[in-house]
């Protein structure tokens, strides 16, 4: 028995579907000494798998054996209108409905409780595998998962409220399914071995499309297009109601890749197809959220979130106020990503951030700074403005939204000081005017990648780099030095169709040819170019280990506070680890290094570069640099942003 089990001699209504679970629930109510009254709801008609007239007859026979009064209530018209037609409308809108949730709330509990009141019954008994207990602090009812998770049904009960939970009893919450059948057999109940219904009651054969078209005849129209994630047509389909996100079978599309439905744009009649990786998301917007045990928390809470009944759940933060649910964040089209980027993340709402005292932002900073000496803020321009993209639209349809930059920057400086954590703002891409200067005034390091550090038609001289910054040759989102030199990223973008036009591709190819020559000229001007390399003939030059070392020696001469060297460049890797704007088109974040981590220290070229950098930057800045930050400036940086070296 659960802690919420009723006392003796009560009168209760038992929801009887004609299956074994509800039959045993009725038997347990009688066993408790209840005056139990059985009610079967006739809802989906005779084609139903759980509430047909045949099911009602099974329920009646169980009630007779248990000595119970028994009634059948016909609500088929209301059920068709409120549940079945809503089911069809959801599919036509590109959503996958959960009709059992609405049925439980509106019919199995709302209507049964109305009937219970008419019959003078205090309680309602159901055969759901769930439990109810009380919070010892608040005294409120809590909905708890079944003791044995293989049959837990709380996923379908989240709409229940306190008034309903007060009157409900779930006697099967402590039992295994096998125990339910065994006890039903011992009591001689005719439903003991009745097969279990797995499908939606009004879709007994699993053909959702047929049901949608019978409820909404207009659904069987001209259909629409299959498209890939870049919007290119892959084929035609017979209607968006035939598909659900995550579906793989029944697409009718020939492809060398295993394709899944990754999105549905019902207003355009488009079904988006992609690979399995595109189904992984970092955030999701919730609707019809209900905090069963009282009002929701003010701050974000850790939760185990399930997206379907048999999903084991995923760890998540649930934040009910500070996110904008109808948008995602990303970046507009630019020379780096001509089609723009959509990152699949919900934006924080600037007004709600301020209203909640920036609690979410502060908690995120503290969680990341607590055990770190330095924190790199990806897309640091988001402190001033963020690019919002409406859900279902492409990046070109997005717009910038302003954020309370001074408030966020002040909080960032305060938490940096409290945690003694250096702050590096990744300020690449479309940078607002004055942003870098304001970040520098606050003591945050800028992020300087050699590919982008140019002045006119030449690469910036080492002495011209800002002292309050981090210098590097490349990043995880950019081609390695070898890949840059060989144009591998350009070839990959062409292969994946990431250019908006052929002219855009040719222009980037011409720019890369110029950049190779300019880089060699910059190295030659610093007397770092290997003797065997002719700066006027870059097409005859390979990005050798010697040339990679020369690029890093060039960066080591900058007055920047930090110099970062990637293992990928140390080892001469050709393929970049991640290509922004792609998810499943290529194996991002999976490529391994060509050298075991334990072997890096013994690699002769790695050791040679490490020794060269140590000579050039004995205290973190280039030897003899006249432009490095003065001691006073370095101390101020330490006070504002934590330690001055990683």
Which residue is it, tokens 């009634």? Answer: 71
Which is the catalytic residue, given 50, 51, 103, 472? Answer: 103
CATH code of the domain covering residue 248: 2.30.30
Residue 256: the pLDDT is 85
In this structure, the answer to whether residues 257 and 110 fall within a common structural domain is no
Residue 520: the pLDDT is 96
Residue 634: the pLDDT is 33
Confidence of residue 622 (pLDDT cuts 50, 70, 90): low
In this structure, the answer to whether residues 504 and 636 fall within a common structural domain is yes
* Range 420-446 average pLDDT: 94
Asked if the structure places residue 290 within a domain, the reply is no
In this structure, the answer to whether residues 165 and 228 fall within a common structural domain is no
Identify the domain boundary among 238, 254, 279.
Answer: 279
Strand partners, 70: 38
Confidence of residue 632 (pLDDT cuts 50, 70, 90): very low
In this structure, the answer to whether residues 143 and 226 fall within a common structural domain is no
Asked if the structure places residue 151 within a domain, the reply is yes
Asked if the structure places residue 101 within a domain, the reply is yes
Looking at the structure of the chain, the number of domains it has is: 3
Identify the domain boundary among 279, 312, 347.
Answer: 279
N-to-C CA span, the chain: 59
Pick the most confident of 334-343, 450-459, 576-585, 625-634: 450-459
103 assigned to active site: yes
In this structure, the answer to whether residues 101 and 248 fall within a common structural domain is no
Residues 6+ apart with CB under 8 A from 52: 18, 42, 44, 45, 46
Which is the catalytic residue, given 51, 141, 201, 472? Answer: 201
In this structure, the answer to whether residues 228 and 178 fall within a common structural domain is no
Residue 1: the pLDDT is 43
In this structure, the answer to whether residues 561 and 631 fall within a common structural domain is yes
CATH code of the domain covering residue 164: 3.40.50.620
Asked if the structure places residue 395 within a domain, the reply is no
Asked if the structure places residue 431 within a domain, the reply is no
Dihedral angle computed from the Cα positions of residues 134, 138, 144 and 147, in that order, rounded to the nearest 10 degrees: -50
Residue 450: the pLDDT is 97
Confidence of residue 606 (pLDDT cuts 50, 70, 90): confident
pLDDT digits (tens, 9 = 90+) for 338-390: 788 888 888 999 998 888 889 889 988 998 998 899 999 999 999 999 999 99
For residue 354, what are its two tokens? 């301020």
In this structure, the answer to whether residues 152 and 248 fall within a common structural domain is no
Residue 181: the pLDDT is 95
Strand partners, 323: 348
pLDDT digits (tens, 9 = 90+) for 210-260: 999 999 988 877 789 999 888 889 999 999 999 999 999 989 888 888 999
Residues 6+ apart with CB under 8 A from 71: 37, 38, 39, 40, 115
Strand partners, 407: none
> What is the number of alpha carbons within 13 Å of residue 481 lying toward its C-beta?
25
- The pLDDT > 70 percentage for the chain reads 92
* Range 529-545 average pLDDT: 91
Asked if the structure places residue 19 within a domain, the reply is yes
Nearest to 107 by CA among 233, 202, 1: 202
- pLDDT higher than 70, residue 507: yes
Confidence of residue 627 (pLDDT cuts 50, 70, 90): very low
561 assigned to active site: no
Confidence of residue 295 (pLDDT cuts 50, 70, 90): low
3-class SS of residue 535: coil
Strand partners, 445: 424
How much is the pTM? 0.58
In this structure, the answer to whether residues 273 and 168 fall within a common structural domain is no
In this structure, the answer to whether residues 465 and 595 fall within a common structural domain is yes
- pLDDT higher than 60, residue 640: no
3-class SS of residue 470: strand
Nearest to 329 by CA among 262, 283, 376, 368: 283
In this structure, the answer to whether residues 159 and 232 fall within a common structural domain is no
In this structure, the answer to whether residues 82 and 167 fall within a common structural domain is yes
Residue 298: the pLDDT is 62
Asked if the structure places residue 109 within a domain, the reply is yes
Asked if the structure places residue 402 within a domain, the reply is no
Residue 262: the pLDDT is 92
Identify the domain boundary among 261, 279, 297.
Answer: 279
**Distance between CA atoms of 578 and 125, rounded to whole angstroms?**
55
pLDDT digits (tens, 9 = 90+) for 162-193: 888 999 999 999 999 999 999 999 999 999 99
- Its domain, for residue 274, covers 221-279
């Amino acid at each position: 028995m659960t802690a919420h089990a009723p006392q003796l001699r009560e009168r209760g209504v038992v929801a009887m579907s004609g299956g074994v679970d509800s039959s045993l629930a009725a038997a347990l109510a009688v066993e408790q000494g209840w005056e139990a009254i059985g009610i079967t709801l006739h809802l989906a008609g005779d084609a139903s798998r759980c509430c047909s007239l045949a099911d009602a007859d099974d329920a009646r026979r169980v009630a007779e054996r248990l000595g119970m009064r028994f009634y059948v209530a016909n609500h088929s018209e209301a059920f068709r209108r409120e549940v079945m037609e809503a089911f069809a409308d959801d599919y036509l809108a590109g959503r996958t409905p959960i009709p059992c949730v609405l049925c439980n709330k509106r019919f199995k509990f709302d209507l049964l409780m109305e009937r219970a009141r008419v019959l003078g019954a205090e309680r309602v008994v159901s055969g759901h595998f769930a439990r109810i207990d009380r919070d010892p602090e608040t005294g409120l009812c809590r909905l708890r998962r079944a003791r044995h998770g293989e049959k837990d049904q709380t996923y379908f009960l989240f709409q229940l409220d306190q008034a309903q939970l007060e009157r409900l009893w779930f006697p099967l919450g402590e039992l295994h399914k096998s125990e339910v059948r065994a006890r039903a057999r011992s009591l001689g109940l005719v439903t003991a071995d009745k097969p279990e219904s797995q499908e939606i009651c009004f879709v007994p054969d699993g053909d959702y499309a047929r049901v949608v078209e019978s409820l909404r005849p207009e659904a069987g129209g001209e259909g629409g297009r299959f498209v890939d994630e870049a919007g290119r047509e892959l084929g035609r389909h017979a209607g968006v109601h035939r598909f659900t996100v995550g579906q793989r079978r029944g697409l009718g599309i020939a492809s060398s890749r295993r394709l899944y439905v990754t999105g549905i744009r019902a207003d355009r009649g488009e079904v988006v197809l992609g690979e399995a990786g595109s189904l992984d998301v970092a955030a999701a917007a919730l609707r019809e959220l209900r905090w069963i045990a009282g009002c929701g928390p003010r701050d974000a809470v850790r939760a185990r979130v399930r997206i379907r009944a048999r999903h084991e759940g995923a760890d998540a933060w649930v934040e009910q106020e500070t996110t904008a649910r109808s948008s995602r964040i990303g970046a507009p089209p630019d020379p780096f990503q001509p089609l723009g980027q959509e990152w699949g993340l919900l934006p924080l709402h600037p007004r709600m951030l301020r209203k909640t005292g920036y609690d979410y932002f502060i908690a995120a900073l503290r969680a990341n700074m607590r055990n770190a000496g330095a924190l790199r803020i990806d897309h640091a321009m988001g402190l001033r403005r963020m690019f919002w993209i409406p859900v279902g639209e492409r990046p070109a349809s997005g717009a910038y939204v302003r954020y309370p930059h001074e408030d966020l920057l002040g909080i960032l400086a305060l938490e940096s000081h409290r945690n003694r954590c250096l702050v590096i703002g990744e300020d690449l891409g479309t940078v607002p005017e004055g942003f870098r200067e304001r970040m520098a005034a606050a003591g945050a390091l800028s992020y300087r990648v050699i590919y982008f550090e140019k002045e006119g038609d030449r690469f910036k001289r080492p002495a011209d780099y800002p002292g309050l910054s981090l210098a590097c040759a490349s990043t995880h989102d950019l081609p390695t030095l070898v890949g840059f030199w060989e144009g591998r990223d350009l070839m990959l973008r062409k292969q994946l169709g990431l250019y908006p036009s052929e002219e855009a591709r040719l222009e980037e190819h011409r720019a890369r040819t110029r950049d190779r020559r300019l880089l060699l000229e910059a190295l030659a001007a610093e007397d770092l170019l290997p003797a065997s390399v002719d700066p006027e003939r870059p097409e005859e030059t390979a990005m050798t280990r010697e040339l990679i070392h020369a690029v890093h020696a060039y960066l080591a001469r900058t007055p920047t506070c930090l110099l970062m060297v990637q293992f990928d460049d140390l080892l001469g890797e050709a393929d970049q680890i991640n290509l922004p704007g792609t998810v499943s088109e290529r194996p991002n974040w999976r490529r391994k290094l060509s050298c075991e981590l334990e072997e890096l220290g013994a690699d002769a070229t790695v050791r040679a570069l490490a020794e060269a950098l140590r000579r050039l930057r004995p205290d973190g800045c280039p030897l003899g640099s006249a432009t490095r930050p003065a001691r006073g400036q370095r101390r101020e940086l330490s006070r504002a942003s934590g330690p001055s070296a990683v």
